[in-house]
Amino acid sequence: MKKDVKYALDIISRYFILVVLGILGLNIFHFIFLPLTIYPVFLLLKSFFNTSIISNIIFVNNIPIEIIGACVAGSAYFLLLILNLSTPKINLKKRMLILLFSFSSLLLLNILRIFLLSILLVSGNSFFDITHKIFWYVGSTVFVVGIWFLSVKFFKIKEIPFYSDIISLYDSRKNSHKSKRSRKH
């Protein structure tokens, strides 16, 4: 019975965190990751161009590049968190390492994405608009899926987000009913 109680507390706490963060919204991810995104992009661009920064706008050769919430990809961080917390049977230390790996990977890819797009914009490249749209519609999804699959492989995750919890709950309920019937007989 202790195992069932421990699993119940684990599942309640994991999904409680997701609900609370879902209620708070993506602003928390934007608050955390905006400075972690904008300053490295600024420093990279400063290595190659005349660059200044005011708030969330980077000026490259007097061309303004505004880093808005969508650029920070808060929803992608949240999706990685959802995948992490909806996967059972991961101890806390490993879960934190997976989050650190996945968030760091996404941050690095996002910084490189914004840097590349900035170079295309500043150079007047005609591929800026199409590249920006491809990154906008496809890139973030590919990044999240790729990072999650790398995490699964690297950290040897055997469970499937949501599905494994549902199956465990179903099996637990089925076993509970069997045990109640066997006590009656």
**What is the predicted pLDDT for the residue at 76?**
92
Residues in the chain: 185
User: Range of 116's domain?
Assistant: 2-167
127-148 b/e (C-beta count within 10 Å ≥ 16 → b): ebeebbeebeeebbeebbeebb
Output the tens digit of pLDDT for each of the chain's 185 residues: 577 778 888 888 999 999 998 888 888 999 999 999 999 999 999 999 999 999 999 999 999 999 988 888 888 999 999 999 999 989 999 999 999 999 999 999 999 999 999 999 999 888 888 888 888 778 888 999 999 999 999 999 999 988 888 888 787 766 655 555 555 55
Residue 142 lies in a domain: yes
Residue 184 lies in a domain: no
Residue 183 lies in a domain: no
In contact, 94 and 155? CB cutoff 8 Å: yes
In contact, 151 and 157? CB cutoff 8 Å: yes
Distance CA 16, CA 12 (A): 6
Residue 17 lies in a domain: yes
Residue 153 lies in a domain: yes
For the chain, the domain total comes to 1
**What is the predicted pLDDT for the residue at 181?**
55
In contact, 164 and 88? CB cutoff 8 Å: yes
Residue 172 lies in a domain: no
**What is the predicted pLDDT for the residue at 185?**
53
pTM for this entry: 0.86
Kindly report, residue by residue over 14-37, the tens digit of the pLDDT. 999 999 988 888 889 999 999 999
**What is the predicted pLDDT for the residue at 4?**
73
Q: CB within 8 A of 15, min separation 6: which ones?
A: 85, 86
Residue 181 lies in a domain: no
Amino acid, res. 138? V
Find the DSSP H helices in 47-162.
Answer: 69-72, 74-85, 92-122, 128-134, 140-154
**What is the predicted pLDDT for the residue at 128?**
86
Residue 147 lies in a domain: yes
